[in-house]
């Protein structure tokens, strides 16, 4: 089942349940999908990788908004943003733990023979391919730096 059809199904359920936070979130996801599909030169359907990147971007935007609201003491605005992140996370692949990420990066370093920070780009490229959608790029970068340093 494609992401668009999953979103439509969840949208119907949210309408029936009168869940305003879920409705707002699902409509935002649907809008982002439609925008991506109608961009100049875009295909009719998004690939699974494109869908995952789209969802990750939406989740990251909401996390950043929640962080800013919290810093300004506006928990009343931060809370709905965090609830929206939880809804978006339902459609993303399960996230890897920090230990799992370290293990995968250690394998990549052994395979590539990287021995210093100069080869970080090479390791990051392979790590991003292997863990696409399963780990945050910032987390991957931090672990790669610590293992190569």
Q: How far apart are CA 147 and CA 104, in angstroms?
A: 12
Tokens 């293992």, residue located: 147
> Domain 98-148 is of which CATH architecture?
Orthogonal Bundle (1.10)
What's the confidence (pLDDT) of residue 84?
Answer: 94
What's the confidence (pLDDT) of residue 123?
Answer: 86
Q: How far apart are CA 96 and CA 65, in angstroms?
A: 24
Q: How far apart are CA 119 and CA 125, in angstroms?
A: 10
CATH 1.10.1510.10 fits 3-89, yes or no: yes
Q: How far apart are CA 17 and CA 113, in angstroms?
A: 54
Tokens 């409705």, residue located: 23
| Helix/strand/coil for 42 | coil
Start and end residues for every CATH 1.10.1510.10 domain found in the chain: 3-89
Which segments of the chain have a pLDDT < 70?
1, 40-43
Q: Do residues 24 and 15 lie in contact, with contact meaning Cβ atoms separated by under 8 Å?
A: no
């Amino acid at each position: 089942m494609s992401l668009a059809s999953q979103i439509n199904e969840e949208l119907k359920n949210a309408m029936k349940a009168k869940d305003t936070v879920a409705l707002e979130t699902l409509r935002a996801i649907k809008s982002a999908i439609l925008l991506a599909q109608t961009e100049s030169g875009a295909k009719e359907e998004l690939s699974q990788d494109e869908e995952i990147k789209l969802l990750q971007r939406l989740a990251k935007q909401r996390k950043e908004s929640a962080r800013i609201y919290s810093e300004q003491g506006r928990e009343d605005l931060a809370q709905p943003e965090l609830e929206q992140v939880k809804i978006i996370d339902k459609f993303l692949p399960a996230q890897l733990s920090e230990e799992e990420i370290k293990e995968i990066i250690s394998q990549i370093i052994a395979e590539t023979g990287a021995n210093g920070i100069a080869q970080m780009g090479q390791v990051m490229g392979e790590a991003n391919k292997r863990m696409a959608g399963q780990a945050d790029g910032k987390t991957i970068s931090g672990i790669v730096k610590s293992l190569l340093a």
